[in-house]
Amino acid sequence: MHHLEVRNLASAYGPLKVLEDVSLTLAKGEVMALIGPSGSGKSTVLRVLMGLTRPVSGTVLIDGEAIDYGKPASIRAARDRMAIVFQQYNLFQNMDVMRNVTIAPVKIKGRVRAEVEKEAARLLEKVGLADKHRAYPEQLSGGQQQRVAIARALALKPEILLLDEVTSALDPELVNEVLDTVRALAAEGMTMLIVSHEMAFVREVASKVVMMDKGQVIEEGPPKQIFDAPRTERAREFVSKILRH
């Protein structure tokens, strides 16, 4: 049984089809990367999974259990098992780092504050921000904010972590500190679904790459196949374009 399975997912924005017949499977501990040109629907897949965009049709299963995106309780259950990190970090501007990381476990999951804070301190140390507990998001660089956002997602103890272009908003010199954090998570065996434009990074860290275009999956396989010997015409075109850069 697959850990996460997406079957024939479709989504639309008004009359505009954003996703069409997207199917994916992800095993426990696997790192899958979604790549493709801007507007190909990669981020929408993550938004649908998290219940931010309603799918038109299709099924999402976690451990064989279908999520009903029409039912708030079912969406809440799904959000208990998956966490997402956004391109723009979206840290709560009115809270310091520690509170950003602890608020959901304490207030929403009702766990004991002292225990959560101890865990949060460990997570912040792991992402290299042990000295920033009391800093506010506005006082941090983009790279630091994104690492806090990752710690915040991990504090929810998700089974699957979704990363939505986590380095796209960062200045070039800050990209690596965030990628290092993601590398470490991959090495620990975290199950991840990554949307990224960093091809070298994808090649290194992903076990499976899915290429999308115009809302559809056009090819999927191990990184070696996708980057070195793409089988479809459209995939070849995209790969040659990104490799020219």
Partner 1 sequence: MERIIQQIPRFFAPGHVSLLLDAASTTLALTIIGCVSGFLLAFLIVLLRQTPGLWALPLRLLGIAYVEIFRRIPFLVVTYLVLFFIQAFASNASLFTIAVVAICIYATAYTAEIIRGGFESVARQQVEAATVMNFSRWHTLTSIIIPQSWPVILPPAVAFAVGFIKDTALVSQVGVFELTFRGKELNNEGFSGILVFGTIALIYFAISYPLSRLGAWLEIRLASSRSQKPRERLRAA
Mark 103-126 as b/e (b = at least 16 C-beta within 10 Å): ebbbeeeebeeeebbebbbebbeb
CB of 103 to partner 1, least distance (A): 7
Element (H or E) spanning 152, and its range? helix 142-154
CA distance linking residue 231 with residue 211, whole number of Å? 11
**Residue nearer to partner 1 on the CB measure, 145 or 181:** 145
CB of 220 to partner 1, least distance (A): 22
Contact, 143 vs 174, CB < 8 A? yes
**Residue nearer to partner 1 on the CB measure, 39 or 189:** 39
CB of 140 to partner 1, least distance (A): 10
**Residue nearer to partner 1 on the CB measure, 52 or 130:** 52
Evaluate the CA torsion angle 154, 157, 79, 73 in order and state its sign.
Answer: negative
**Residue nearer to partner 1 on the CB measure, 172 or 233:** 172
CB of 45 to partner 1, least distance (A): 14
**Residue nearer to partner 1 on the CB measure, 233 or 244:** 244
CB of 189 to partner 1, least distance (A): 23
Query: Rule CB under 8 A: which residues touch partner 1?
Result: 38, 50-52, 76, 79-80, 83-84, 86, 88, 90-95, 103-104, 107-108, 138, 142, 145, 156, 165, 168-171, 197
Q: In whole angstroms, how large is the CA radius of gyration of the chain? A: 18
CB count within 10 Å of CB 209 equals 25
Range 68-76, long-range pairs (CB < 8 A, 24+ positions): 75/51
Nearest to residue 208, comparing CAs of 197, 228, 192?
192
